[in-house]
Amino acid sequence: MNPNGPFSNSYGFDMLVLSVIYAVFLCLIFHSKKRINSLELKIFGYLIDINMISSIFELFCGLSIAFLGKDSIIAIIICRIYLGLLLSVNYVFLIFIIAISLNNELSFLFKKYFKVISFVTLFFMIFAFILPMVVVNDQTGMYSTGPATFVLLLYGVIADFILMPLFIVYGRRKYNVPFIKYISPLLVIIMSLLAQILTNVDHHYTLFSVLETFCLMVLFFTIQNPDVKAIDELEIAKNEAEKGNRAQEDFLASVSKEIRQPLNTIVGFSEDIKKRRDEGNAIIYENADYILSSSQKLLEMVDNFIDVSDMQANTLKLNEDVYNFNEAIMEVIKDDGEKIGDKNIEFLFNTSTDLPGKLIGDKKRVMSIVHNLLSNAIKYTNKGKIELSVRSTIEDDKCILVIRVSDTGKGIGEKQIEKIFTMFERSSNDKNSTISGAGLGLAITKNLVELMGGKISVQSEVDNGSIFIVQIPQTIPDN
C-alpha cells in the first residue's frame, strides 16, 4: 500500500474510475449472497468494504485537487482521509491473514494479536493525521509526500513484508493451512512492491487501488466466494459426519460383543446350576461366582453407557459428600487386583502420609476414575508391574489429589494418544486385537476429571508402558 499518486491528469483517471467500478461491483456481489458465518468471511467482507471506500476517496482526492487546488481545505481533508483509509485497508488485510493462519479460531491467541496490532495501527494512524503532508501537482504527476506519507509507507513495509510472511509461515507449519489460501496475499505483496516501483518511476501511474481491487476480485472468485466456502464447509461437515457414523458403528459392534459375552456367561452358568441342583455345593458356588462376575461387568458397562448419555446431554452431576479416601481406594484395589489373575504382574501401591483421612467430594466418581485407570493398565499389561501412587497438595481447606498409575504394558503410539480420550474411538492397535472393552473408560475418565475441575495427562511409549497422572481437587471437611 502506498499513498503516492492519488490522481493523474491523463491515464491515471481512467484507472481510478475503473477501480471504483470494480470495487463497487465486488462489494454488491459479495453482500448480495448468503454466506456462512465464519471469521474469515466476516473479515473479508470488511476488507472489500474499506477497499471500495478507499477507491472512491482516491478518486475524490484527485478530483478535489484538480478542481479546488492542492492547498484547498477540502482537498487536504479528503487526502488525509484517503491516507487513513489506505492504512485501514492494510490493517484489515493483515488481520485477515492472521485469521487464516490461526485456522479461523477466535481464540485467545487471535484476540491477543488483534489487540496488539490494533493498538500499533492506531499509533500509526494518529501520526499519519498529525504529521505534515505535501501534495504535489505538476508535470511529473499528482502525488503526496512528506512525513505523513512516510508513516504510511513504513506501516506498509512492516505489514506486507514482515508480519504477513511471518504469519503465513506460522499458519503453514502450525495448522498446515493449504498454500492456495495464501496465493492472493502473496499476490498483494508482490503487486504492492511492483506498484511502488512503477509509481516512483512515473507518478502518472495510480496503481494501488487498482491492484488492491484486482487482488480482492481474484481472492473472491477463487477462494472467498460464499458459494465456494459453503461447499467447502459442507464437504468438511459431511466428512466429519461420516467419520462420526463410522466411529459409532464400530462402537456399537464392539458393545454388542461386550454385552453378549457376560450375558452368555450368565445364561450358561444359570442353566448349569439348574442341571446340578442335586450335586455338591462347591460347583454351584463356583458357577455363582461366574454369574456374579459377569453381572458386575455388565452392570459396569451399562453404567458407562448412562454416563456417556449424561455427558453428551450435559446432565451429568456430582454428588458430593464426606468420605474416607483410603478405605474407598482399598476397595477398588481389592476388586481390580483380582483381574490380574494369572498374569505375571507385580502390583505396587503407595500413598503419602499427609493424605487427609476424610474428604468432601463425589466418592463414586473419584473411585470410578481410579478404577478406569487401573483396569486400563491391567488390560494392556501382560507382565512387569503396575504401580498406583497417591499424594496430595493441601492449601487451606483444599486438597489436590494427585493419582498416578504407571504400567509396563504395550504403550500407546504418539499419534494414538489424542484418540484414547475420544468417545466411540479406539486406537487402530485395539481394533484388531483380542483385548476386550468398548473403549469408553478413558473418555469417561477425562470428562469426570474435567467436571471436577481437575486435569489428566498421559506419557506413553510403544512397548515401554504408560503413565497416567490425574489431579482432582477435593475439599477437606472442618474438624
Of the pLDDT bands very low, low, confident and very high (cuts 50, 70, 90), residue 359 is very high
pLDDT digits 0-9 by tens, 146-195: 898 889 889 988 988 889 889 888 888 888 888 877 876 777 777 777 77
- Grid cell of 160 as nine digits: 506486507
Q: What is the pLDDT of residue 467?
A: 92
Q: What is the pLDDT of residue 312?
A: 66
pLDDT digits 0-9 by tens, 325-347: 999 999 889 888 877 877 888 99
Of the pLDDT bands very low, low, confident and very high (cuts 50, 70, 90), residue 223 is low
Q: What is the pLDDT of residue 260?
A: 64
Are domains 11-224 and 321-475 of this chain identical in fold?
Answer: no
| Choice among 237-246, 363-372, 394-403, 411-420 with the minimum mean pLDDT | 237-246
Q: Which one is the CATH code of 321-475: 2.60.120.680, 3.20.190.10, 3.30.1300.10, 3.30.565.10?
A: 3.30.565.10
Q: What is the pLDDT of residue 156?
A: 85
State the pairing for strand pair 466-475/455-460.
antiparallel
Please tell me the CATH code under which domain 11-224 is placed.
1.20.1070.10
User: What is the torsional sign of CA 216, 221, 226, 228?
Assistant: negative
Q: What is the pLDDT of residue 442?
A: 85
Distance CA(147)–CA(338), nearest Å, equals: 82
Q: What percent of the chain is predicted at pLDDT more than 90?
A: 15
Of the pLDDT bands very low, low, confident and very high (cuts 50, 70, 90), residue 471 is very high
Q: What percent of the chain is predicted at pLDDT more than 70?
A: 70
Q: What is the pLDDT of residue 316?
A: 76
Distance CA(24)–CA(55), nearest Å, equals: 9
Of the pLDDT bands very low, low, confident and very high (cuts 50, 70, 90), residue 123 is very high
Mean pLDDT of 3-9: 42
Residue with the bigger pLDDT between 65 and 196: it is 65
Q: Which of 359, 352, 429, 423 is nearest to 391 (CA)?
A: 352
Contact 216, 1 (CB under 8 A): no
Mean pLDDT of 391-396: 87
Contact 431, 251 (CB under 8 A): no
3-state secondary structure the chain: CCCCCCCCCCHHHHHHHHHHHHHHHHHHHHHHCCCCCCHHHHHHHHHHHHHHHHHHHHHHHHHHHHHHCCCCHHHHHHHHHHHHHHHHHHHHHHHHHHHHHCCCCCCHHHHHHHHHHHHHHHHHHHHHHHCCCEEEEECCEEEEECHHHHHHHHHHHHHHHHHHHHHHHHHHHHCCCCHHHHHHHHHHHHHHHHHHHHHHHCECCCCHHHHHHHHHHHHHHHHHCHHHHHHHHHHHHHHHHHHHHHHHHHHHHHHHHHHHHHHHHHHHHHHHHHHCCCCCHHHHHHHHHHHHHHHHHHHHHHHHHHHHHHHHCCCCCCCCEEEEHHHHHHHHHHHHHHHHCCCEEEEEEEECCCCCCEEEECHHHHHHHHHHHHHHHHHCCCEEEEEEEEEEEEECCEEEEEEEEEECCCCCCCCCHHHHHCCCCCCHHHHCCCCCCCCCHHHHHHHHHHHCCCEEEEEECCCCCEEEEEEEEEECCCC
Is the per-residue pLDDT at 211 higher than 80?
A: no
Q: What is the pLDDT of residue 99?
A: 86
Of the pLDDT bands very low, low, confident and very high (cuts 50, 70, 90), residue 386 is very high
Is the per-residue pLDDT at 243 higher than 80?
A: no
Is the per-residue pLDDT at 406 higher than 90?
A: yes
| Choice among 22-26, 268-272, 319-323 with the minimum mean pLDDT | 268-272
In degrees, rounded to 5, the angle at the alpha carbon of residue 257 between the alpha carbons of residues 252 and 331 is 100
Q: What is the pLDDT of residue 352?
A: 87
pLDDT digits 0-9 by tens, 251-308: 655 665 666 667 667 767 666 766 665 565 666 666 666 676 667 667 777 776 677 6
What is the reported pTM? 0.50
Q: What is the pLDDT of residue 233?
A: 60
Q: What is the pLDDT of residue 40?
A: 79
- Grid cell of 417 as nine digits: 494418544
Q: What is the pLDDT of residue 343?
A: 84
Is the per-residue pLDDT at 466 higher than 50?
A: yes
Q: If you average pLDDT over every residue of the chain, what do you get?
A: 78
Distance CA(443)–CA(209), nearest Å, equals: 54
Is the per-residue pLDDT at 8 higher than 50?
A: no
Q: What is the pLDDT of residue 241?
A: 65
Domain ranges of the chain: 11-224, 251-312, 321-475
> Which residues share a beta bridge with 468?
405, 458
pLDDT digits 0-9 by tens, 411-440: 888 777 777 877 655 554 554 444 444 457
